[in-house]
Amino acid sequence: MYDLIVIGGGPGGLRAAELASHAGMSVALIEKDRLGGTCLNRGCIPTKALYAHIVGGKGERDGLWSRVEATMDKLRQGSATALRMAKVKTYRGTAAVTQWEGEKKISVRKEDGSVEEIASSRLLVAAGARSVRPSFAGNDLPEVLTGDWAIVDPLLWDPERNGDVRTVAVLGAGVIALEMAMMLQNLGKNVILLKHSDQILRRLDGDVKKKVGQIMKKRGTDVREYVRLSEAVQEGGGLLLRGTAKDEPFEERCDRLLLASSMEPILDGFGLENGPVRVAKGCIAVDDAMMTSVEGVYAVGDCTGGAMLAHLAEYQALAAVSHMTGGSYRVDLDALPACVFIEPEVATVGLTEEEARARGEEIVSAKAHFGANGMALAMGEGDGFVKVVARAAGRTILGVHIMGPEAASLLGEATLAVAKHLTAEDVANTIHAHPTLCECFRDACRRVMEE
């Protein structure tokens, strides 16, 4: 019998298995597909590999798809090696929990049809999430792709094979939708952005959203708001979309439709349906130690809802294993970083102005623009800003919102500042090398001090 069985080999499951094994537990991990989960195989990694080449210019367009696949293969091999070095037993197959309470019993159906029964004293579920497929006629046509599979379709992204795709409609206005829309535009495709409302990147800071909207307009993106699709019909090798926009009928023609509006936790296929684990609001309910309603059963990552981010899943795994071993680590959601890989990049951590005020905080905020930053101008990328939101009393940094060159890489210092409750003065008085992009964060903090 194992000390811990992990269901799911995505970022959260992998991290939990390694941490638990290093803590002295005997660990088994069950994965029905490939290690790395959606992030590595159909999400973060292929998206960013494409972004680096298509937007960042990190390599020629020729051979692009081969380089993307090579990146994913190398990371899969790395995950397998890490598990092997940690002495985690890996099972390739579909898990079904047959006993949740007391001793945990799991049936593993392997690819050859054979079944193996294994047991453990603890269980951690990291089942992930999948794209929601909205209900409309024709939503399952071959030309209709969900956001968690579209990114690995070479007929959409490979410049050597995507010549027949000229116009792409993207349903959604969140991170996945915008990242794919902008990359497709950079590949020379016409993009039609179909939004459910008038919002864009709904949870982000208001100034960032305003700037993104301006950029989309400048790029000539065809945007329709308050869209409700009623059907997609195959026509002339592509699709004819019908529906309403602002309650007025519309028709659009495209070669592909990408469904990138939202994701939902995976709650079926592994025995949860008839088990005792509590499900609330469409996800597995957990406490701050990531423990479910059943003693000894934990859940991490996208199946628990909330912000569906690979790095959050990893730190939730840390919280779960910490609890198993008597530790006290818990995830601070007020210091959760997130990035949007568009052009220019967006990166954010902590509270927006709107969120801070909703909590009753008295705040001050200030911005520093990359147009005054020496490195940004030297790079020819002076568009964007760093915005700092701080508590009025004492100027403790509550949130940092960046839009500009290498924003995602700049977010590390900002996240540390928010997590450790640093003040604007703490950052402003710390020496920042010159000329560097991070000076823009320092300058924003200086301006907060002056407010």
What does residue 405 show for φ and ψ, rounded to 5 degrees? -60, 130
Select from 42, 39, 35 the least CA-distant residue to 92: 35
Residue type, 398: L
CB 262 within 8 A of CB 302: no
Q: What angle do CA 79, 22, 9 make, to 5 degrees?
A: 30
- Catalytic center residues: 434
Tokens (6 digits) for 302: 């996208």
Using an 8 Å Cβ cutoff, are 15 and 37 in contact?
Answer: no
Backbone angles phi, psi at 56, to 5 degrees: -85, -10
Calculate the alpha carbon distances from 329 to 18, 291, 332 in Å.
17, 13, 9
**Using CB atoms within 10 A of its CB, is residue 416 exposed (0-12), middle (13-18) or buried (19+)?**
middle
Residue 82 DSSP class: H
Q: Which amino acid is at 299?
A: A
What is the C-alpha separation between 137 and 135, in angstroms, rounded? 7
In angstroms, the CA 160 to CA 202 distance is: 35
- Residue 135 carries which DSSP code? -
Q: Which residues contact 9 (CB under 8 A, 6 or more apart)?
A: 29, 30, 31, 34, 35, 36, 37, 79, 90, 126
> Residue 139's closest CA among 231, 29, 75, 13?
231
